[in-house]
């Protein structure tokens, strides 16, 4: 049974159709079907990761067609790690979503689960594929489902936020497609490994340069890298929480993975850092992204929106780290894909728990939450510490590699931005803690005693369980980060 | 100027697609009406499709169907790849067209939702309505 690479993608795809049909019979059937599909994905991704660690890169030919003509799934250590990450987060979020989807969009729960599966299919496909055009189609599959899912959210603002995302998303995808076109003109191939082979014999072609720049800009738009980030905060804030929890940690991280894949596998380090010499400019952009993301997060009054700006800030970390041009920086960027996905997920799970009970998430609504929802807040504090970069949590270790890489490359401005943004996020989260901890609950004592009697209690056990599990995994990932770097990232970069 | 003109004429397909793309981009950025923006988006995507179609073209080549391949008429006849246009970019564009139609459909559905909620598709009016709903979070 060595069809696991295909099974990772096919399981959620087929179950998406099944769930879509099942909705016509009974709405309730969609949920168990979705769970099964993603469980198969996790299992296959785990198998594939084991296989890659023991016996090296897997090249899987879809339908048996040989690579330059057919589509190839090529799984090395980096893919395998991201695949397991994506499928696990998608599965865990589905467990937590049962209650919140019921509460938020229960009239369209069936279509939610169907689109959720298609979205995860797209993410997994983007990660697994070794074909440039296939990558475009799957990116668009991911984006299309997220446009639709975002529109399921806040009835007043979500459709408009989603439409703005459509416009910008289309520009991003089209730039990427255009870049693939230029690359195809020069090489006549769409398979990543084959293109890399042909490119290594071509020096100083302006067509390749155009292709590279277009593809990078396209991917940057899709990942919301700083000047192109405007779509992200609104789209993620107004989407239903069940979707925000999965799109916030995964979409941007998978796009970072695509960028690293293009840089390492397709164009190659020598081309990017020796021939082009663009790294300084991009590291500066990353620095600006980090600082402006942190500052904009500081000025937000809504918790969910504040966290979306933290995502913008974290993207600066990873893009800057990947473009430092040394092994330490790249190690930090890849480790941060894992860590940032986990900590953003933990943060949004805690926010999801709050949203389940609170309905509104302005910072002033959070007063006294430590007393009301102690477990949720414990998870939130752990995740916040990880974002700040407090040592036992995983956020510290990837930040450490990034800072070491910045010093090695002499990019002191980048190291400075990392430290300043850590301080800013410390300020940010302690502001939230203060509101949640110290200020009393009763702000409208005078009028309507019954109004302030609304009892806020802990979120349902399924949501608490997932939230606790992921928050603890932040510490586990931190403790084992040495193992992760030694068994996965360093062998991959060799 | 004398150098530029032959360059434009020789590579007119690229100039055309860039011009179309810029028209689309302009509409997406500058237009106030959401449907006009959508049309701009479609022009933008079509420009890229035309670009792909044009790069498959070869001078003096024909459609990539080998004549009499099944009838045995081409026994021994040598087939030159240069005699046939490259079908791969065209095939890729079938997929890209599907993607762009799907995107357009989703975007139209969103526009309908917005219109049902606010009775307008003008962006400045929408912005005013959003301010009326409540403070921007």
CA angle A119, A121, A125 (to 5 degrees): 120
d(CA A43, CA B51): 42
Are A202 and A186 a contacting pair, CB within 8 Å? yes
CA angle A320, A322, A328 (to 5 degrees): 105
Domain count, chain B: 1
The contacts of residue A166 (CB under 8 Å, 6+ apart) are: A147, B41, B103, B106, B107, B110
Interface predicted TM-score (ipTM) of this complex, two decimals: 0.90
pLDDT band at A453 (very low <50, low <70, confident <90, very high): very low
Name the minimum distance, in Å, from the CA of A370 to any CA of chain B: 23
Return the residue of B nearest to A69 by Cα: B88
- The percent of residues in chain A predicted with pLDDT above 90, rounded, is 39
Domain ranges of chain A: 278-444+454-494
Are A126 and A142 a contacting pair, CB within 8 Å? yes
Structural element, H or E, at residue A72: strand A72-75
Sort residue A400 into left (φ over 0), alpha (ψ -120 to 50) or beta: alpha
Determine, for residues A181 and B41 on separate chains, whether the beta-carbon distance falls below 8 Å.
Answer: no
pLDDT at A204 over 80: no
Determine, for residues B130 and A160 on separate chains, whether the beta-carbon distance falls below 8 Å.
Answer: yes
pLDDT digits (tens, 9 = 90+) for B93-127: 999 999 999 999 999 999 999 999 888 888 888 88
pLDDT band at B69 (very low <50, low <70, confident <90, very high): low
Give A147's contacts in chain B (Cβ within 8 Å).
103, 106-107, 110
Task: Please name the residue that has the structure tokens 């489902």.
Answer: A145
In sequence order, the β-bridge partners of residue A61 are A72
Res A68: pLDDT: 76
Q: What is the pTM of this model?
A: 0.91
Res B21: pLDDT: 92
d(CA A310, CA A344): 9
pLDDT at B135 over 70: no
Instruction: State the average pLDDT for chain A.
Output: 87
CA angle A96, A99, A102 (to 5 degrees): 135
Name the minimum distance, in Å, from the CA of A19 to any CA of chain B: 20
d(CA A121, CA A35): 13
d(CA A157, CA B130): 8
Helix (H, G, I), strand (E, B) or coil at A286: helix
pLDDT digits (tens, 9 = 90+) for A121-158: 999 999 999 899 999 999 999 999 999 999 888 888 88
What mean pLDDT do residues A401-426 have?
90
pLDDT at A255 over 50: yes
pLDDT at A452 over 50: no
The contacts of residue A63 (CB under 8 Å, 6+ apart) are: A70
Are A290 and A216 a contacting pair, CB within 8 Å? no
What mean pLDDT do residues A61-76 have?
82
What is the sign, positive or negative, of the torsion defined by CA atoms of A431, A433, A434, A439?
A: positive
In sequence order, the β-bridge partners of residue A58 are A75
- Residue B30: CATH number of its domain: 1.10.287.3510
Which of the residues B51, B99, B118 would you substitute to probe the A interface, choosing the one with the greatest number of A C-beta atoms within 10 Å?
B99
Note down the domain range covering B63: 4-133
* Size (chain B), residues: 137
Determine, for residues B130 and A184 on separate chains, whether the beta-carbon distance falls below 8 Å.
Answer: no
Give A163's contacts in chain B (Cβ within 8 Å).
34, 107, 110-111, 114
pLDDT digits (tens, 9 = 90+) for A264-319: 988 888 888 887 878 888 999 999 999 999 999 988 888 888 999 999 999 999 99
């Amino acid at each position: 049974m060595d069809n696991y690479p295909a099974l990772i993608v096919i399981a959620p795809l087929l179950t998406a159709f099944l769930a879509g049909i099942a909705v016509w019979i009974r709405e309730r059937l969609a949920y168990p079907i979705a769970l099964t599909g993603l469980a198969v994905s996790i299992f296959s991704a785990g198998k594939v990761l084991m296989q890659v660690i023991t016996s090296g890169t897997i090249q899987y030919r879809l339908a048996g067609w040989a690579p330059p003509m057919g589509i190839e799934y090529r799984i090395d250590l980096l893919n395998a790690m991201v695949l397991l990450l994506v499928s696990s987060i998608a599965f865990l979020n589905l467990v937590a979503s049962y209650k919140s989807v019921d509460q938020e969009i229960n009239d369209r729960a069936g279509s939610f689960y169907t689109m959720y599966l298609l979205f995860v299919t797209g993410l997994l496909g983007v990660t697994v594929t070794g074909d440039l055009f296939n990558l475009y189609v799957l990116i668009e599959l991911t984006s299309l489902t997220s446009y639709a899912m975002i529109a399921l959210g806040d009835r007043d603002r979500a459709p408009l936020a989603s439409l703005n995302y459509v416009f910008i998303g289309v520009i991003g995808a089209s730039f990427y497609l255009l870049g693939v076109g230029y690359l195809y003109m020069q090489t006549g191939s769409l398979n990543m490994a084959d293109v890399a082979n042909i490119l290594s014999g071509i020096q100083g072609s302006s067509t390749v340069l155009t292709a590279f720049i277009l593809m990078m800009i396209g991917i940057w738009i899709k990942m919301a890298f700083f000047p192109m980030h405007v779509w992200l905060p609104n789209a993620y804030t107004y989407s239903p929480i069940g979707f925000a929890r999965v799109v916030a940690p995964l979409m941007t991280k998978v796009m970072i993975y695509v960028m690293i894949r293009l840089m390492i596998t397709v164009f190659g380090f020598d081309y990017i850092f020796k021939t082009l010499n663009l790294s300084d400019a991009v590291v500066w952009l990353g620095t600006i992204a980090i600082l402006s993301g942190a500052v904009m997060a500081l000025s937000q009054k809504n918790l969910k929106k504040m966290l979306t700006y933290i995502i913008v800030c974290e993207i600066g970390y990873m893009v800057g780290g990947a473009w430092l041009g040394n092994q330490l920086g790249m190690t930090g960027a890849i480790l941060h894909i894992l860590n940032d996905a986990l900590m953003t997920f933990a943060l949004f799970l805690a926010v999801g728990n709050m949203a389940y009970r609170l309905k509104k998430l302005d910072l002033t609504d959070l007063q006294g939450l430590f007393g009301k929802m102690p477990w949720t807040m414990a998870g939130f504090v752990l995740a916040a510490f990880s974002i700040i970069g407090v040592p036992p949590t995983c956020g510290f270790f990837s930040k450490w590699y990034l800072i070491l890489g910045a010093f090695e490359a002499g990019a002191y401005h980048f190291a400075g931005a990392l430290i300043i943004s850590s301080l800013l996020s410390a300020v940010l989260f302690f502001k939230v803690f203060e509101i949640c901890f110290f200020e009393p609950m009763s702000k409208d004592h005078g009028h309507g005693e019954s109004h302030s009697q609304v009892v806020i209690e802990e979120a349902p056990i399924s949501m608490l369980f997932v939230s606790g599990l992921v928050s603890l995994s932040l510490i586990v990932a931190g403790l084992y980060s040495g193992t992760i770097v030694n068994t996965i990232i360093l062998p991959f970069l060799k | 100027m004398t150098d530029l003109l032959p360059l434009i004429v020789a590579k007119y397909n690229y100039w055309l697609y860039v011009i179309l793309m810029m028209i689309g981009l302009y509409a997406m950025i500058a237009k106030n009406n959401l449907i006009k923006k959508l049309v701009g988006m479609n022009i933008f995507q079509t420009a890229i499709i035309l670009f792909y179609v044009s790069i498959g073209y070869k001078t003096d080549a024909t459609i990539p169907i080998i004549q009499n391949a099944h009838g045995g008429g081409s026994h021994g006849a040598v087939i030159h790849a240069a005699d046939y246009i490259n079908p791969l970019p065209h095939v890729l564009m079938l997929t890209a067209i599907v993607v762009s139609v799907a995107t357009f459909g989703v975007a139209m559905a969103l526009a309908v939702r917005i219109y049902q909620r606010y009775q307008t598709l003008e962006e400045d009016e929408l912005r005013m309505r959003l301010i009326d709903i409540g403070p921007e979070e």
